Structure 1
Amino acid sequence: MPMKHALTIFSFLLLTIFMFPATAQETAKANKGEGVLQFLKRFNRTKPFHMERFFELNRNKLDKNNGLQLDVTYTLPPLNNEGYEPLFGEKLAKYTIDSDELNGACFYLVSGHGGPDPGAIGELRGHPLHEDEYAYDITLRLARNLMSKGAKVHIIIQDAQDGIRDEKFLDVSDRETCMGQAIPLNQVKRLQQRCDKINELYKKDKEHYRRALFIHLDSRSESKQIDVFFYHYDGSVKGKHLANTLQNVFNRKYDKHQPLRGFSGTVSPRDLYVIKQTLPVAVFIELGNIQNSRDQQRFLLDDNRQALANWMCEGLIEDYKNYSKK
């Protein structure tokens, strides 16, 4: 074979490999009389997310009753479900949905402040510490945890560039938006904007369990070390239950990891604008004092930011299991 023809074939093979990766999705045709459930079971796709993904992939190939048709080639959902969220950053945008324990749950996650308002500001060794940056990073970590458990998650405050970051000192910016909309400087307009967005989504969502979380850092005197505090709207039974569940998880974690320290974070009702104006059950969380050197370690270290996200996720799973059948 002439060398130039061999090079041409080799180049074509390389192009084919890159154009059609080995992870291409599988396809199959239905047997006579087979429903979607039986069809997916034949290919070992038995999880709720398999069914959901199948309908997404084959929406235009089903009959008017969402049934299968003969002689139609259907795309099978991936055996191991994966998700993609660019807000998590390039390295962590892809995530595996490793369980369906939060299937049927929907969360509206709001990191405090953002855009023209940095929120509380601390300082350590000449580095500015802005509440909105640290609250946002923890919120993204929580969102990724929840989504890996099968939950639907709306990230209300967004920064298209930051992603999840591991640095101790997070760069500050005013790029944050409310799901693409510029954040107003006026406080009431700023808070109303995020409430309106949550309520708009809430009216469209069909999940039977829907919860909003507002994640903040506090600012007090430098000497004042505080634990994580949980606030719910007065009169909200489910909001109080969620706040207490989260507090109980943090209590257990502190007993395990810092048994001599104890945990003094409390649950209390507060007439806060955002938890009063939003339609879903809501909890407002203060993660620590941004001015206090000991509290700062709670969110300066990326492992600690991840631990906060893990513990909140565990509390939300526990609350969901209590209410999922009610």
Structure 2
Amino acid sequence: MNRFFLPYFRVVFSVLVTFFVAEVAFAQDSVKTVVAKRGDGILSLLRKEGINPYDHYDDFIAMNLDNLRDSIHLYEGRRYLIPSVELDSVEVVESIEKKSKEVVKIEGEDFAIFGKKHATVLKNSDRLKGNVYYLVSGHGGPDPGAMANYGGKMIAEDEYAYDITLRLAKELISHGALVYIIIRDENDGIRDERVLEIDHDEVAYPNKTIPLNQVARLKQRVEIVNDLYSKHRGKYQRLIVTHVDSRSRGQNIDVFFYHHEKSKNGRKLAESIHTTFQKKYQKFQPNRVYSGTFEDRSSLYLVKKTHPAMTFIEIGNIRNKKDQRRILDPDNRQALAKWISEGVLLDYEK
């Protein structure tokens, strides 16, 4: 394994899923349903049903579109359809009198940076094998970025940009990519809380103190990415920078994508992710017009100075109440990461 890759250790683990046949022996034309309880989100509901929420997130939304608030949130007390999942299982029969049990063996790799709860990355495909991706979340360390008050607590841009970036990294790794997380916090991991606690212990890859001065911070990130780019010369390499916008309080915005005016590949990457978002909105929010764009923004320091083809993403407005609800919801952060990853796949496979 390349010594510059983010630290991880490999594990192979077995998950034993035991249940009575009577509980899952539905007729072929039947669909399992479950009632949403207070506090349930799509991710937590699927987990409780023993289903990988990241693999079947879109399936769940498609099956329950007319029964979701804002095309993504559950209503407490309503019944929801559960995707049918074929388990790679081995039947274990202890005796004729006892009910059959099933054992599911799942293999994966564990990445400590994602946190204990989300550490394991299951392999989805090799579609991005050999590709190198650099992920930079905005601000961090001494600079929390834009801040706002939510329910009497302060929330900061860098925490939410970092959470989305980690989720995106996990998606890309699951498809075989080599991923560098440039701004990193070994203590946070992927978090499923709405209000993410603010800290200032983020470092720059591999373990560099982030400068207080803004220009020094940006220069540090550029140097890290460009050095790694040189070491991987000849490979397919892309850079994705993630920020949470901080426009005026009253302005509700969609997700925007920027690229360098002279980078054909950067434009294609931004356009591919933008196209993916358009299709997702058409599918899941057909009555809502998606106003996000992809455009040249060569004046941005990271856009101008970094060597890999790249896109700079602005996700929502942390100072807008409507956008706050969208960014704070962990289901939404997962959806954003998954949609970005699908745009990355589209870009590579075009």
CA shift, 1:202, in A, is: 1.0
Alignment-derived partner of residue 195 in structure 1: 222
TM-score after normalising by structure 2: 0.68
Alignment of 1:130-169 (within 5 A): 130-169=156-195
SS in 1 for 2:139: coil
Q: How many residues are aligned here? A: 248
**Which amino acid in 2 is paired with 1:318?**
L
Q: Which of residues 319, 335, 338 is equivalent to 1:310?
A: 338
Alignment of 1:108-123 (within 5 A): 108-123=134-149
Say if 1:263 and 1:23 are closer, same or farther in 2 by CA, change over 3 A. Answer: closer
Contact 1:81–1:98 (CA<8 Å) still a contact in 2?
A: no
SS in 2 for 1:305: helix
Q: Which of residues 228, 232, 257 is equivalent to 1:230?
A: 257
Alignment-derived partner of residue 178 in structure 1: 204
SS in 2 for 1:95: strand
SS in 1 for 2:162: helix
SS in 2 for 1:150: coil
Contact 1:105–1:320 (CA<8 Å) still a contact in 2?
A: no
Contact 2:12–2:108 (CA<8 Å) still a contact in 1?
A: no
Contact 1:82–1:95 (CA<8 Å) still a contact in 2?
A: yes
Q: Which of residues 305, 317, 342 is equivalent to 1:277?
A: 305
Structure 2: distance between partners of 1:267 and 1:98: 28
Alignment-derived partner of residue 61 in structure 1: none
Alignment-derived partner of residue 125 in structure 1: 151
CA shift, 1:22, in A, is: 9.6
Say if 1:23 and 1:252 are closer, same or farther in 2 by CA, change over 3 A. Answer: closer
Deviations 1:82-101 (A, max 9, x none): 32211100122121222101
Contact 1:111–1:136 (CA<8 Å) still a contact in 2?
A: yes
Alignment-derived partner of residue 293 in structure 2: 266
**Which amino acid in 1 is paired with 2:274?**
Q
Contact 2:138–2:158 (CA<8 Å) still a contact in 1?
A: yes
Alignment of 1:1-326 (within 5 A): 82-179=108-205, 180-205=207-232, 208-270=235-297, 271-322=299-350
Say if 1:196 and 1:252 are closer, same or farther in 2 by CA, change over 3 A. Answer: same
Say if 1:289 and 1:220 are closer, same or farther in 2 by CA, change over 3 A. Answer: same
CA shift, 1:207, in A, is: 6.1
Structure 1 unaligned residues grouped into runs of 5+: 1-20, 25-78
SS in 2 for 1:231: strand
Say if 1:81 and 1:319 are closer, same or farther in 2 by CA, change over 3 A. Answer: farther
Say if 1:259 and 1:183 are closer, same or farther in 2 by CA, change over 3 A. Answer: same
Aligned-residue CA RMSD (Å): 1.8
Deviations 1:193-247 (A, max 9, x none): 0111111111112563210011001111221000000000111111111111111
Structure 2: distance between partners of 1:299 and 1:147: 23
SS in 1 for 2:242: strand
Structure 1: distance between partners of 2:133 and 2:12: 34
Deviations 1:118-166 (A, max 9, x none): 0111221112110000000000000000000100000000001000000
Contact 1:104–1:207 (CA<8 Å) still a contact in 2?
A: no
CA shift, 1:294, in A, is: 1.0
Contact 1:199–1:278 (CA<8 Å) still a contact in 2?
A: yes
Structure 2: distance between partners of 1:222 and 1:299: 15
Say if 1:114 and 1:307 are closer, same or farther in 2 by CA, change over 3 A. Answer: same
Deviations 1:170-201 (A, max 9, x none): 00000000021000010111001011111111
Say if 1:23 and 1:83 are closer, same or farther in 2 by CA, change over 3 A. Answer: closer
**Which amino acid in 2 is paired with 1:114?**
G
TM-score after normalising by structure 1: 0.73
Contact 2:141–2:200 (CA<8 Å) still a contact in 1?
A: yes
Structure 2: distance between partners of 1:291 and 1:146: 29
Structure richer in helix, relative to its length: 1
SS in 2 for 1:285: strand
CA shift, 1:290, in A, is: 0.6
Contact 2:240–2:313 (CA<8 Å) still a contact in 1?
A: yes
Structure 1: distance between partners of 2:133 and 2:120: 19
**Which amino acid in 2 is paired with 1:255?**
Q
Structure 2: distance between partners of 1:291 and 1:107: 30
Structure 1: distance between partners of 2:340 and 2:191: 19
Decide which structure has the larger Cα Rg and report it: 1
